Copies of this chain bind each other. A is one copy, B any other.
């Protein structure tokens, strides 16, 4: 296997059969030791975070598979902390799609003049460019199309898939009395040209609250997967 990319929370290897292997690490994004799914830096390392992320991702990706929502997931190996996935090319140099159920994080930092902290947003969707240097700027449909990062049709598909997937995650969390505040997804084009969900769905890319308190990534895995 050939190392293709060292990410903040995962390393990516290419297999000889053309598929890829994601190695989940114990690092989570944040700043100064505080977890923040919207941050661009590794904020802290937590023993077991990689395994927890992989277990939760596997749980959600298998659930999406049952509902015929296309993802890059093939299988997972818990001992090695790896997930095997289909190849996919990202949009532009990487695009994140955020679904927001409550006004927190960068949404509030931008639009706090018009929104109260924690105000319900009913699954509001926005997209941001993956660009550490420029602070992951938000980008509109018009700009995405104009800069040829997405077609109009792809934008609409991403929006619809994101809402559908996020609602499924929200519902799963609700079964454990956890409320989903926001979640960040990534998509790619498969070799067949289909749009598929890539990356992960774990405590590392969402904000979840229980009894008004934020649920940390490791705790989320425990609460969601406990019998």
Chain A contacts to B: CB under 8 angstroms: 92-93, 109-115, 121, 124-126, 129, 131, 133-134, 137-143, 146-147, 149
Contacts and interface: CB of A to CB of B under 8 A. Distances in A.
A142 B113 contact: no
Contacts of A125: 142
B138 A141 contact: no
Given A111-B129, A124-B142, A138-B138, 7 more contacts: A92-B113, A93-B113, A110-B139, A114-B149, A124-B143, A124-B146, A140-B141
10 contacts: A93-B114, A110-B137, A111-B129, A111-B134, A111-B143, A113-B129, A113-B133, A114-B147, A126-B142, A138-B140
A140 B126 contact: yes
A109 B126 contact: no
B134 A112 contact: yes
Report copies per complex. Answer: 2
Contacts of A124: 142-143, 146
A142 B127 CA distance: 11
B126 A113 contact: no
A111 B129 CA distance: 8
Contact of A146 (B112, B121, B134, B143): B121
Given A124-B142, A126-B142, A140-B140, A134 B115 contact: no
A143 B129 contact: no
- Tell which of A113, A115, A139, A147 has the most Cβ of chain B within 10 Å: A113
7 A-B pairs closest in CB distance = A110-B137, A140-B140, A114-B147, A113-B131, A124-B146, A93-B113, A110-B134
Nearest to A103: B147
A129 to B, nearest CB: 7
Nearest to A133: B113
A91 to B, nearest CB: 11
A140 B141 CA distance: 8
A139 B113 contact: no
A137 B135 CA distance: 13
A92 to B, nearest CB: 6
